[in-house]
């Protein structure tokens, strides 16, 4: 679906300033999908229903998808080929840069970031602007692997996830952590570099939750299961947890 921004936003009047690599959007309450071409890389910005993008956020430099009910807080940056899943919330000043996929219902505390792109270090200068000012070919970046974040993942305040990392469903990354290795589903990690701290649930419950995969449920089914979502699962057996689900 490709329409003019003004036709989709109706009475909302965002300030949209495109550069050669990113869009700067100032709006709130966006509830439509649209795509806009940039000057250089022709990125596509696809927005689902009930998406909120707050003031000062920068989106572009690749193909960006914001799924239904996503919230992008004030002064966030999404640059590259970025997909953000349903119901995921970026609070403020978050950076998601590079080839990154984020699952559903994740929570990013302020200033937590995902940095899939790195500077190359094998040329004389490390500064991209230096090469631009001299009209040289762009500084080559490092050849990095994508970042994949599962659903129901919590990134704490000032946490940073680097290239090639995979974080499993339900994992927790502590504040100010630097994540350089994969994180298992429902694992709690912290530190610089991030290391194992513990598990959210015992192994049997972790396996059950991966089997249930509640983050894939429809909105209707989620709303029908208040008892499940308001229960301390550490006090229940797997059988008791299954019995809670409608």
Catalytic residue annotation: 119
Which residues are paired to 169 by β-bridges?
none
Residues 6+ apart with CB under 8 A from 144: 98, 99, 116, 117, 118, 163, 164
CA nearest 162: which of 143, 178, 184, 142? 178
Region of 80 on the Ramachandran plot (φ > 0 left; ψ -120 to 50 alpha; else beta): left
Distance between CA atoms of 103 and 88, rounded to whole angstroms? 7
Residues 6+ apart with CB under 8 A from 122: 140
Residue 93, classed as helix, strand or coil, is coil
By DSSP bridging, strand 23-26 and strand 57-60 are antiparallel
C-beta of residue 33 within 8 angstroms of C-beta of residue 48: yes
Distance between CA atoms of 181 and 166, rounded to whole angstroms? 8
C-beta of residue 48 within 8 angstroms of C-beta of residue 19: no
Segment holding 147, helix H or strand E:
strand 147-149
């Amino acid at each position: 679906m490709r329409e003019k921004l003004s036709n989709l936003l109706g009475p909302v009047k965002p300030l949209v300033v495109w550069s050669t690599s990113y869009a700067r959007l100032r709006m709130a309450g966006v509830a439509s999908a649209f795509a806009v071409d940039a000057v250089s890389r022709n990125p596509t910005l696809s927005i689902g229903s009930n998406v909120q993008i707050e003031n000062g956020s920068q989106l572009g430099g690749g193909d960006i998808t914001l799924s239904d009910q996503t919230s992008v807080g004030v002064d966030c940056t999404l640059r590259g080929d970025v997909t953000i899943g349903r119901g995921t919330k970026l609070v403020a000043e978050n950076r998601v840069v590079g080839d990154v996929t984020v699952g559903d219902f994740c929570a990013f505390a302020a200033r937590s970031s995902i940095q899939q792109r790195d500077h190359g270090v094998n040329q004389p200068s490390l500064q991209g602007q230096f090469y631009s000012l001299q009209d040289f070919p762009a500084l080559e970046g490092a050849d990095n692997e994508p970042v994949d974040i599962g659903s129901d993942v919590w990134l704490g305040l000032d946490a940073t996830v680097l290239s090639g990392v995979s974080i499993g469903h339900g994992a927790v990354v502590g504040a100010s952590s630097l994540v350089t290795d994969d994180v298992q589903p429902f694992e709690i990690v912290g530190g610089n570099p991030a290391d194992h701290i513990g598990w959210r649930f015992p192994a049997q419950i972790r396996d059950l939750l991966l089997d249930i995969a509640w983050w894939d449920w429809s909105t209707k089914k989620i709303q029908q299961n208040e008892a499940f979502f308001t229960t301390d699962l550490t006090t229940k057996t797997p059988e008791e947890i299954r019995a809670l689900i409608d």
